[in-house]
Amino acid sequence: MTSDAVERLVSDLTLEEKVQLTHGAADTDGTSTGFVPGVERLGVPGVRFTDGPLGVRTDEPATAFPASMALAASFDPDLAREFGEALGREAKARDQDVLLGPGLNLVRVPHCGRNFEYFSEDPVVTGRFAAGVVEGIESEDVVATPKHFVANNQETARASVSAEVDERVLRELYLPGFRDAVDAGAGAVMSSYNRVNGTYMSEHERLLGAVLKDEWGFDGMVMSDWFGTESVVDAASGGLDLQMPGISAEDLFESMGMPADEFDPGGFDYADGMPDPRTGGLFRERLADAVEAGEVPESRLDDMVARYLTQLERHGLLGERGASGANGEGGGDGREGAIDTPEHRDLAERIAVRGTVLLENDGVLPLADDADVAVIGPNVEEAILGGGGSSETTPFTETSPVEGVEARAGGDVSVARGIPRIEDVSLFDGFGPDDADDEDDSPDVSIDDAVAAAEDVDVAVVFVRDQATEAADRETLALPGEQDELVEAVAAANDRTVVVLNTSGPVEMPWREDLAAVLASWYPGQAHGDAAATVLYGDSDPGGRLPVTFAPEGEYPANTERRFPGVDGEVHYEEGLLVGYRHFDATDADATYPFGHGRSYATFEYSDAEAVDDATVEVTVENTGDRAGREVVQAYVDSPDATDELERPPRELGGFVALSLDPGESRRVAVDLDERAFGRYDESDGWTVDAGEHVVSLGRSARDLRLDVSIDR
């Protein structure tokens, strides 16, 4: 609801001033990703917007947290809230008011270049993590911006492709995470570049207006993605409230001190992942005229501005602070924040540890303190911070795998790269993995050296990585470079070989059966080495579970060109509801590692499952091992068959609980089940729960179900 103060402000603003609050401008101090100048005479401050999901991205360092996928792999939404709070504090310390995250698009295809910025292939996991991060950010009085709304599930042609998707599929898979983020109090939502069923999301009246704002009651602002506004009248009428960055790329370059004549629009490949940067200034150039001509009602302009001002008011940004100047002169807004604190460093490490998934272990892990270890891999002398693009964060400090293991090991540590370094890829220096392998800064390495190092030690640990970036999808799930050859050669030389995957998601693992253990630790951020050592030596249980299914490339459901990356500008979501584990369960296809999978150094038993009401089940979990361990109890709901047009997934995750148990300890836990797991979305009746028996299976993964409980609805 609009407050009296905001209503008064809107009526005091001139047309020109109102339009000024609907788009960004050049940042006066050049620190932010986006900037909206204020209106000094009325106490409206200049507002700064910063990327992004993995850390605060200004021109200065910040804590580089693990990838969102690593956070989700913890299956611990409390950790998400803690992370959100830390992001909020770091944003304030850098005088930023709006955080451009969390990213929460569903992982529909494993190739998507931004999956590392997203949470999961499952909407309940996505929603709980999105809500946790949003609550945390907002609790620090920083505006959270869930993105990219909606069906931005690939980077190929992201600026133009139309996701052709059924209403029921949108409602059951792609929208719930956004709904949960909105319910958690997000002050903004970022529209995506793509079209949905033919209409650009920045002008999608039904999804932005009827669904997000009217049905869900979202009273915040919808901002465009950067250069993702296609029109003035359609966008404003469709529900877009704020055009970002609000100026053309030419002007943006100039504001950053780069000569405008170096701007070359022809240098961008618009068709393949990048939006047209010339459209950045549409609202600034034409919105006032459109209002004066009656093409956009002035009441709509007032609504745009009121939504924006309501968020400033709610976050304590109006009034006194506004009086400090429309451009935030004086270097900063004086709000207290915190950056690179010991707590934030510790949190970055804790997330990396908890998000590490032990995929496979024949007993080689945890490592003995005095084991002689070879640390092998092309990138072992650096921390893998993230993928390329707008989420790139520069840390104050980082530990590489070599540093982490050397600091922890009691035995000898030898190091071998084995093959040339696998380069980072980034939209900032190219548009895709093709540019990746040009640079070879390690010409004197050889697989033979790695084999020699492996032969002499108790255990060989090989760190491998993929290459992923915003604006391009991975062309293959195979590891880049000669990493497979390296792993195979090392595994042949030492049968106690462990592989650590530092990847954006699933990769092909042709050597899997020759290994003693495999860990997935995603992009672990600045604490890479310390977190890896903590898990390898068993100082902490690897707490993670897979938020995405690992399977051979051809087994995923989007396996035709129509489905991914699309044909004739359209990508057809023909797999319907059968995304991720829903597909593997429905078709009984083989997953390499199923959704929810993750081993522990402890062992667990489940007993005495019962339903305590029609949306909660309880179960007793006992740690039957001899080490402390972390368990994630998962509850999957199988609902009665309805006469559905779309094939209903056999089971859907309804809820989960993560807990730590000492050896011999047992605890009774309650798992709250999401109402949507019982229901289906009916186009005429909305969410509908079919009457009958719903079977809730409790287990350790989608394919390791231990106990069933019946709930009659």
Catalytic residues: 225
> Cα–chain-centroid distance for residue 493?
38
Binding site for ligand BGC (CB under 6 A): 33, 51-52, 100, 147, 225-226, 390
The per-type count for the chain, helices as H runs and strands as E runs, is 19, 25
Rounded CA-CA distance 382/176 in Å is 37
State how far the Cα of 309 lies from the Cα of 35, in Å rounded to an integer: 15
Cβ neighbour number for residue 626 with a 10 Å cutoff: 11
Residue type for position 74: S
Indicate the residue among 226 and 593 with the shorter CB distance to ligand BGC: 226
Q: Which is nearer to ligand BGC, 33 or 356 (CB)?
A: 33
Task: Evaluate whether 456 touches 413 at the Cβ level (below 8 Å).
Answer: no
Smallest separation (angstroms) from ligand BGC to the CB of 190: 7
Nearer to ligand BGC, 249 or 548 (CB): 249
Least separation in angstroms between CB 243 and ligand BGC: 13
Contact 449, 410 (CB under 8 A): no
Minimum separation from the CB atom of position 227 to ligand BGC (A): 8
The whole-angstrom separation of Cα 612 and Cα 634 is 16
Toward ligand BGC, which CB reaches closer, 100 or 384? Answer: 100
State the minimum distance, in angstroms, from the CB of residue 225 to ligand BGC: 5
Nearer to ligand BGC, 113 or 404 (CB): 113
Q: Is the omega angle on the peptide bond into residue 148 within 30 degrees of 0, that is, cis? A: yes
Q: What is the largest CA-CA distance in the chain?
A: 79
**Eight-state DSSP code of residue 278:** G
> H or E stretch including 361?
strand 357-361
550 in Cβ contact with 518 (< 8 Å)? no
In angstroms, give the least distance from the CB of 703 to ligand BGC: 34
* DSSP string over 552-574: -GGGSS--STTTTT-BTTEEE-T
Distances (CA, A) of 234 to 246, 391, 609: 16, 30, 53
- Cβ proximity to ligand BGC: between 109 and 591 the closer is 109
Residues 78 and 132: beta-carbon distance below 8 Å: yes
The residue with tokens 């103060």 is 5
DSSP 3-state assignment of 353?
Answer: helix
Q: How far is the CB of 62 from ligand BGC (least distance, A)?
A: 15
Give the CB-side neighbour count of residue 429, counting CA atoms within 13 A: 14
CB 188 within 8 A of CB 223: yes
Q: Which is nearer to ligand BGC, 152 or 697 (CB)?
A: 152
Strand partners, 666: 622
Run of H or E including 234: helix 233-238
Smallest distance, ligand BGC to C-beta of residue 51, A: 5
Two tokens, residue 148: 């990219």
147 vs 171 by CB, closer to ligand BGC = 147
Instruction: Report which residue's Cβ sits closest to ligand BGC.
Output: 390
Helix (H, G, I), strand (E, B) or coil at 629: strand
Residue 453, H or E segment: helix 447-455
Rg value, the chain, Cα: 25
Residue 623 vs residues 138, 526, 603, 626: alpha-carbon distances, Å: 37, 32, 6, 8
Q: Report the residue number, 253 or 595, with the smaller CB distance to ligand BGC.
A: 253
The least distance separating ligand BGC from the CB of residue 388, rounded to whole angstroms, comes to 11
Query: Per the structure block, which two tokens stand in for 104?
Result: 């929460």
CB of 32 to ligand BGC, least distance (A): 10
Residue 627's contacts (CB-CB under 8 Å, 6 or more residues apart) are 538, 541, 601, 602, 663
Q: Would you say 147 or 354 has its CB closer to ligand BGC?
A: 147
Q: Which is nearer to ligand BGC, 22 or 194 (CB)?
A: 194
Minimum separation from the CB atom of position 709 to ligand BGC (A): 41
Q: Where are the beta strands (DSSP E) in 21-92?
A: 34-36, 47-51
Give the Cβ contact number of residue 128 at 10 Å: 24
Distance CA 77, CA 98 (A): 22
- Shortest gap between Cβ of 100 and ligand BGC (angstroms)? 4
